[in-house]
Amino acid sequence: MRRRILSIACGISLFFASAAFAAPKSLVRVGGLSPAQISHLATEGYDIPKTGHGFAELVLEGPQIEAFAKKGHSIKVLVRDLDEYVKKVKQTQTKNSAYYTYATMIKKLNEWVEKYPDICRLESIGKSCEDRDIWALKISDNPGKNEPEPAALLMGAHHAREWPSIEVPMATAKKLLEEYNGDPEITRLVNEREIWIVPMVNPDGVTYSMEKSRMWRKNRRNNSGTYGVDLNRNYGYQWGNVGASNSGSSDTYHGTGPFSEPESCAMRDFVIREKFQASISYHTYSELILYPFGYGYNIPNPDQKIFVKMAGEMAKFNGYDPKNSAELYPAMGDSDDYFYGERKILCFTFELCSTFIPNASQIPTFNQLNVPAAIYLIDKAGTYGIVNPDGREEIVNNLSLDSSLRAITDIVELFGSEGNVAMRNEALKQLEKISLRTAGIVVEEIKSGNAEALDKVKAVPQASLAMSFIRNRVLFEDAHRSSQYRQDLIEKLKN
């Protein structure tokens, strides 16, 4: 037994010695941690891909591993050399199964624009530190117009090493484009939404990670001796030191100030311009669906009920665990806190997969799991997305009848028994506006002698308020201007 213990000790020492010499970064599971200790690690700015009961998975250098071991924590090295891990993943790629690079992404985006010019267009929304374009693909039935329709955003690759985060938004774009005019639901969404996809927020970092075979997280900002800023710690809502670092050498370095980076500035200006209702930011790993707020524990979220509902529904597609972002670990300056805290966007982070970069053969599998959840979010941008207190009035005033009824159904089912008076009142305000829009559409149809719209509303039990508006308006106008309406429709309305 003594020889075995000595052998294990020597093995750990050799690992630390080799790590110190070659300075590789490792993925390590550190055990024996309390929730308070995990929270403290986040406060210290450690790079934490995953947490669980009593453990955290950390990206560490050799001396850091040794320090944890000396404190008595259990150590399990999951990936000894993360750069070597990247090289091995690259070797799994084939002609028919490979991760998008910056170049192949641009090529595919341009192919789509050429093939589907009536429903998509490509735009550079800004430049990176190294002057690469940050490309955004718009998918809609009138892509050249800014229509008053619910808008959804899908983003990938805030973090360079998270290659699957590029694949899922690209796969979603492919489905929307290829199935338009073939699948009725896809056709409806393209016709009634403004869908934007930014597959690679951090093109410099991704290019560096792929070309140099590096497990790189940040952008490529030259910090005068070190490189990179963590773009998902650089947004301006509650920017600070929790879950982030002031050191330019740290993987979670948050920059010299909020929005110090051109990439985060490009996304900020883009979301202000487009006024999105809902978004997903893709990351790896942990198989989680996260929602705001993430900058601290137990931060009040006025729209908590919507976030919980949507996260739970999306989790049914991929089997992921939905939770508040701070439950993973608190972090300041991330995109979701800004999108919701400042812009009132219903925003989510998907932590894809069970490792940073699965073998390329797994790309179809994780796409198949996650594209349906993205389609769900695009749909609900037009229901829950306009329940949100900052839902744009112009969107409600331009809803089609079917869209109005979908929104009414979702609002009533989610908030019908809501005990929180303030939350219920906000929902009822939006319900009233949408019901009035619905009534306006139906009344005009009745005037033209068409009962189809009325029948649709009567078939939706949740649309009782809209029916009340329709009935009151038609009966009032009929009493004063009886020639406007057919009497058989008046009787139908009374019954």
Q: Can you give the pLDDT at residue 388?
A: 77
Query: pLDDT-derived band of residue 147, with 50, 70 and 90 as boundaries?
Result: very high
Give the residue, 135 or 45, on which the prediction is more confident: 135
pLDDT in tens, 342-394: 999 999 999 999 999 999 999 999 999 999 999 999 999 999 999 877 778 89
pLDDT for res 24: 82
Cis, peptide link before residue 293, omega less than 30° from 0 = yes
Q: How many residues does the chain have?
A: 495
* pLDDT score recorded for residue 191: 97
State the Cα–Cα distance between residues 442 and 469, nearest whole angstrom: 10
Question: pLDDT tens for residues 154-185?
Answer: 999 999 999 999 999 999 999 999 999 999 99
Amino acid (1-letter code) at residue 380: K
Quote the pTM value: 0.92
Residue 412 confidence (pLDDT) above 90: yes
pLDDT exceeds cutoff 90 at 190 = yes
Inform me whether the pLDDT recorded for 237 exceeds 70.
yes
Q: Which of 38-47, 340-349, 440-449 has the highest mean pLDDT?
A: 340-349
**Integer Cα distance of 14 and 18 in angstroms:** 6
Percentage of the residues of the chain whose pLDDT score is greater than 90: 77
Question: What integer is the mean pLDDT of 221-243?
Answer: 95
Q: Is the Cβ–Cβ distance between 377 and 152 less than 8 Å?
A: yes
HEC string for 141-158: CCCCCCCCCCEEEEECCC
Which DSSP symbol is given to 462? G
450 membership: H or E segment, kind and range:
none
Confidence of residue 23 (pLDDT cuts 50, 70, 90): low
- Flag the least confident range among 9-13, 91-95, 208-212, 487-491: 9-13
Tokens (6 digits) for 360: 């390329």
pLDDT average, residue stretch 440-461 = 90
Computed on alpha carbons and rounded to an integer, the radius of gyration of the chain in Å comes to 26
Most confidently modeled of 19-33, 270-284, 475-489?
Answer: 270-284
CA separation for the pair 140, 372 (Å, rounded)? 18
The Cα 252–Cα 58 span in angstroms is 12
Residues serving a catalytic function are: 351
* Mean pLDDT within 195-204: 98
Q: Which residue type occupies 475?
A: L
Q: Which amino acid is at 436?
A: L
What average pLDDT does the segment 79-106 reach?
95
Q: What is the structure's pLDDT at 2?
A: 40
Domains of the chain: 2-80 (3.30.70), 90-386 (3.40.630.10), 399-494 (no CATH)
Average confidence score pLDDT of the chain: 91
String of DSSP letters for 241-254: STT-BS-TTSTTB-
State the pLDDT at residue 20: 40
**Residue 21: per-residue pLDDT:** 41
Range in 8-12, 26-30, 309-313, 390-394 the model is least confident about: 8-12
What pLDDT digit, counting tens, does each position of 56-66 carry?
A: 999 999 999 99
Q: Report the distance separating Cα 273 and Cα 269, nearest Å.
A: 6
